[in-house]
Amino acid sequence: MSGSLIEARGLTKHYSAFSLEGVDLTVNEGEVVGFIGQNGAGKSTTIKALLGLFPTDGGTSSVLGVPSDELSRASGAAVKEQVGVVFDAISLPEHLKVADVGRIYERTYATWDAHRFERLTADFGLDAKKTVKELSRGMGMKLSLACALAHDARLLILDEATAGLDPMARDEVLDLLRDFVAEPGRAILMSSHITSDLERIADRIVCIDAGRIVFDLPKDVITDEMGIARCRVADLEKIADSGVVPDAELRYLRHDYGIDVLVPDRFAFVESFPEIPVDRMTIDDYMTLTLKGGVR
Ligand SMILES: Nc1ncnc2c1ncn2[C@@H]1O[C@H](COP(=O)(O)OP(=O)(O)OP(=O)(O)O)[C@@H](O)[C@H]1O
């Protein structure tokens, strides 16, 4: 197997009112890939397709070198052991106690580490005697994460896994994820609307919109190189005429108070236009400018 733990090419799935339209997605060893997009853009559908949870209508995909459609068969069991999956809703029977969950997974996974599970649940402040039904949404997410991290997986696939967590718990989880991916041969694919988390942990950001990948960029290119120029209306023409921002890349958003312009290289921009304020680009800004911005 090459250095990629997830590989999708031209992944297509048609529902009556939505289609995944030829999704390409790669997650390499050592990488944390943040998967972003608006509600209904196709993030969960892509993740479920990768995991072989339904038949697709075109394209190919594999997880740890095994075709996705084999993952749901008996032959895919050994690979599934190496994948920790967390969806945004807990998928455990409500009557189970936290401690019972550990005992059940001990029988399910050959690589289950009972001590690690106990330590994780204790660190997360989960009461071993509580039932799944008694857990808050955030506690349920913590339990799912503890399960995903306790069976020596090589790959974590997290779909909105930090959505219900408070800022301190998210800090704790990001630390665990950093430790996880620091071990050789591992990677994480995580969808999230909390892009500030991705700014802290992701190596690459992939954005999907209406079932199509619209960008796939190293995070540092967005947050360290790009900028957002806060312009007056007249500045836009000045910037366009200067050629400092190539025409094809000149995206902007009009506001009542002025125009935000996407700047691919904010350091070069400041040299040419020292009078125009430029802020660092955030992932949210870049997504908004890409999806909603005008092009000259
Ligand atoms: N089983 C299904 N049958 C029909 N349509 C579906 C099915 N599952 C998902 N969809 C549709 O596919 C589209 C994409 O949904 P998906 O859950 O992948 O979006 P998402 O990007 O994960 O959104 P969110 O950020 O809200 O979780 C939506 O329009 C949804 O209604």
- pLDDT score of 115: 94
Please give the distance, rounded to the nearest whole angstrom, from the Cα atom of residue 48 to the centre of ligand 1. 10
205, 130: one domain = yes
- Which of 150, 158, 219 has the alpha carbon at shortest distance from 188? 158
- pLDDT score of 222: 97
Number of structural domains (the chain) is 2
Please give the distance, rounded to the nearest whole angstrom, from the Cα atom of residue 210 to the centre of ligand 1. 10
Nearest CA to ligand 1 atom 9: 45
162, 249: one domain = no
Percent of the chain residues past pLDDT 90, beyond the cut? 71
57, 29: one domain = yes
Question: Residue 18: CB within 6 Å of ligand 1?
Answer: yes
Domain boundary among 173, 200, 221: 221
- Rounded CA-CA distance 120/146 in Å is 6
Nearest CA to ligand 1 atom 1: 15
13, 151: one domain = yes
Query: Token pair of 55, please?
Result: 């038949």
CB atoms within 10 A of CB 150: 25
112, 233: one domain = no
208, 233: one domain = no
Please give the distance, rounded to the nearest whole angstrom, from the Cα atom of residue 56 to the centre of ligand 1. 14
Question: Residue 44: CB within 6 Å of ligand 1?
Answer: yes
Question: Residue 267: CB within 6 Å of ligand 1?
Answer: no
Q: What is the mean pLDDT of residues 94-105?
A: 90
Please give the residue that has the higher pLDDT: either 58 or 294.
58
Please give the distance, rounded to the nearest whole angstrom, from the Cα atom of residue 37 to the centre of ligand 1. 12
Question: Residue 13: CB within 6 Å of ligand 1?
Answer: no
Domain boundary among 201, 221, 241: 221
270, 194: one domain = no
146, 13: one domain = yes
CATH number at residue 135: 3.40.50.300
Please tell me whether the interface predicted TM-score (ipTM) of this complex is above 0.95: yes
165, 233: one domain = no
Question: Residue 39: CB within 6 Å of ligand 1?
Answer: yes
211, 262: one domain = no
- pLDDT score of 76: 77
Quick: pLDDT tens for 233-270.
Answer: 888 888 888 888 888 878 999 988 899 999 999 999 99
Ligand 1 atom nearest residue 41's Cα:
21
User: In which order are the strands placed within the sheet that holds 19-28?
Assistant: 19-28, 4-14, 58-63, 66-67
Domain boundary among 221, 249, 280: 221
Q: Which letter does DSSP use for residue 264 in this model?
A: S
Token look-up 């665990």 returns 176
Q: What is the mean pLDDT of residues 71-95?
A: 84
pLDDT band at residue 1, thresholds of 50, 70 and 90?
very low
pLDDT at 25 over 80: yes
92, 238: one domain = no
Task: Give the domain range for residue 52.
Answer: 4-221
pLDDT at 2 over 70: no
204, 247: one domain = no
pTM for this predicted structure: 0.94
